[in-house]
Amino acid sequence: MTIIDLLRQIKKNLANKRLEIAESMIEGRISDFQSYQKHIGIAEGLQQASEIIDATLKNLDEEDA
C-alpha cells in the first residue's frame, strides 16, 4: 500500500464516519442540544481533515509531475 492509497483510505473512513453522524442525527438519536452541537463540531472536523488530505494528495501529485 502506497502513501497515496493510505491517504485515500483514511479519507474514505472519514467520509463514512461523517455519514454515520448524519444518519444518527436524522434518525433522532441525539438526545439534547449539547450533543447536537458536539456532533456538528465533529462532522466539521472530519470535513476539514478530508480537505487537508485532498490538499496533501494534490501536493503529492504536483511533486510527481
Can you give the pLDDT at residue 56? 95
pLDDT over 80 (residue 65): no
Over the stretch 9-60, which tens digit does the pLDDT of each residue have? 999 999 999 999 999 999 988 889 999 999 999 999 999 999 999 999 999 8
Residue 31 has what pLDDT?
85
Predicted local confidence at residue 61, as pLDDT: 86
Residues 6+ apart with CB under 8 A from 30: 24, 36, 39
| pLDDT for 64 | 79
CA 54 – CA 14 distance, rounded (Å): 12
Give whole-number Cα distances, 52 to 3, 42, 59, in Å: 14, 15, 11
